[in-house]
Structure 1
């Protein structure tokens, strides 16, 4: 008896991945359409049944600025000792508003979208990154207001000061997203993480030279504490914004050593802040990728 010929099927090499796991933040670039849909959803949810909508992007920082300006500028007299203190303060406030919004929302967004995550699989990193996009939508109107005021008082930036704005923007965006990935992962397993996020956002404005000048820290704290203070990437980001939006408006009015931002800002502290921010982002991405396969089951 002759055996029937056996059909041969060409071997194929397929890559298998653990269920619920992807390539980390690299998946965001390959899913731009989904990212835009999530951003649209977050905006719609936030302003559902709202009369003013995105106008709140102007109202909230305006009220925040007014409160801080009266408390620090008028009551404590900082407005008298520092030229264009309003610009100095608002330059730092826009940095902190960007950080707190990205950090706070990205740390909560996984739990907040638990029902969707349990139903279908899509790259989980899209959710924290969408928080970054939404925060940018609120950030740039504030920068526009700052620019208008700057132009009124005679802002004349150099190329390096424009670069300072871009680099400061990158530092705060990356650092906030990095911490959001870390605490967003922790929040899935330990809901107490939200309390730590609230605490950090509550004190972070006071841990950087937003309402006061960095020289007050240098003249008060011991050297090791000042060094630790400068290692905070947000301190560098705030000082870069001061250099970009405030420094050129007071140059010549008071001595350079009094008004100028931190020494070695560009040569030392900016590279350090960039390394720390992107290093934290790498750690956050690895941590997020390691645990995201368990998100649906924990939620």
Structure 2
């Protein structure tokens, strides 16, 4: 069949495409209206029959913060005080700035990895770009992230927050690192989960480790003090470590006397490395997703 002639061998041969495969993430940009519909659907379904609704975006991180603050800040002495001058000043800000970012990543990756299986009814009935489902999960997590970041900013203002333009810009880059990493891994595990449901359990374990494998609850200096510089370098290869540290740099550090140092080479080395790793994860996730999406409907 040809696009410009009824005869075989015409001048404009139609491009042959494998059924069920689109243009990848480019299709998401072309179908922004569908993306909005999916995001609206996810929010409505999630809070259907819920009394608090979107207020859960405040309640869940609030309870998590209180538990960690009491256990670590007070009982284990990570909060700076007269009895513990070596602790972290404004530990509440330090803790919450890490929690809001790691919660965004955890929710985004967890929902994205289940998005294809969770929308199996749509996928088996009609064709639409399958990347829309994991990407919509990331967007929903971003919507839940907004009220948490508002609370963080308000709390920072009460403690004398005065960030520089550089610090705010670094925080935006840190958020993009977490978003890109969640998107790439969401594409990978979302596709694998169609074929092997064990992927959901693996993601749950990874997310459990993620909170402790990045400086959300403790400082990076504790890693260097306990394990040495080599271990710290390995630790900094984790993009989430860098992402969380950007939020500490932008939100927590300006509320202190700013005498606390960043990890060695943080801005010139580790920030670009983390962004490159996150972008590579997106490329890898898109490649794997496109190779596997052709049999999604059959497998589901």
Task: Give the TM-score range, shorter chain.
Answer: over 0.9
Work out the CA distance in 2 between the residues paired with 1:42 and 1:260: 41
The corresponding residue for 2:289 is 288
Between 282-291 and 215-224, report the one with greater CA deviation.
215-224
Work out the CA distance in 2 between the residues paired with 1:294 and 1:207: 35
Please list the CA deviations of residues 173-213 of structure 1 after superposition, one character each: whole Å capped at 9, or x if unmatched: 00011111111111111101111001011111100011100
The corresponding residue for 2:84 is none
C-alpha RMSD over aligned residues: 1.2
Are 2:237 and 1:236 equivalent residues in the alignment? no
Cα deviation, residue 51, structure 1: 1.5
The aligned length equals: 287
Work out the CA distance in 2 between the residues paired with 1:100 and 1:262: 24
Gaps of 5+ in 2: 81-86
8 Å CA contact retained: 1:247, 1:260: no
Work out the CA distance in 1 between the residues paired with 2:128 and 2:6: 32
The corresponding residue for 1:4 is none
The corresponding residue for 2:28 is 28
The corresponding residue for 2:94 is 88
Please list the CA deviations of residues 89-118 of structure 1 after superposition, one character each: whole Å capped at 9, or x if unmatched: 111101100110111000011011111101
Work out the CA distance in 1 between the residues paired with 2:196 and 2:247: 35
Larger Rg belongs to: 1
Gaps of 5+ in 1: 1-7
The corresponding residue for 1:178 is 184
Work out the CA distance in 2 between the residues paired with 1:277 and 1:226: 19
Q: Secondary structure at the match of 1:145?
A: helix
Q: 1:145 aligns with which of 151, 164, 169?
A: 151
Cα deviation, residue 221, structure 1: 1.3
The corresponding residue for 1:41 is 41
Q: 2:253 aligns with which of 244, 247, 251?
A: 247
Work out the CA distance in 2 between the residues paired with 1:293 and 1:200: 27
Work out the CA distance in 2 between the residues paired with 1:261 and 1:176: 25
Normalised by the length of structure 2, the TM-score is 0.93
By relative contact order (CA 8 Å, sep 6+), the higher-ranking structure is: 1
The corresponding residue for 2:76 is 76
After superposition, where does 1:63-142 map in structure 2 within 5 Å?
63-80=63-80, 81-142=87-148
The corresponding residue for 2:15 is 15
The corresponding residue for 1:51 is 51
Work out the CA distance in 2 between the residues paired with 1:134 and 1:231: 28
Are 2:215 and 1:209 equivalent residues in the alignment? yes
Work out the CA distance in 2 between the residues paired with 1:224 and 1:20: 47
Cα deviation, residue 167, structure 1: 0.4
Q: Secondary structure at the match of 1:121?
A: coil
Cα deviation, residue 279, structure 1: 0.4
Cα deviation, residue 222, structure 1: 4.1
Q: 2:166 aligns with which of 160, 163, 180?
A: 160
Please list the CA deviations of residues 207-250 of structure 1 after superposition, one character each: whole Å capped at 9, or x if unmatched: 00111000000111144322211000000001100000011111
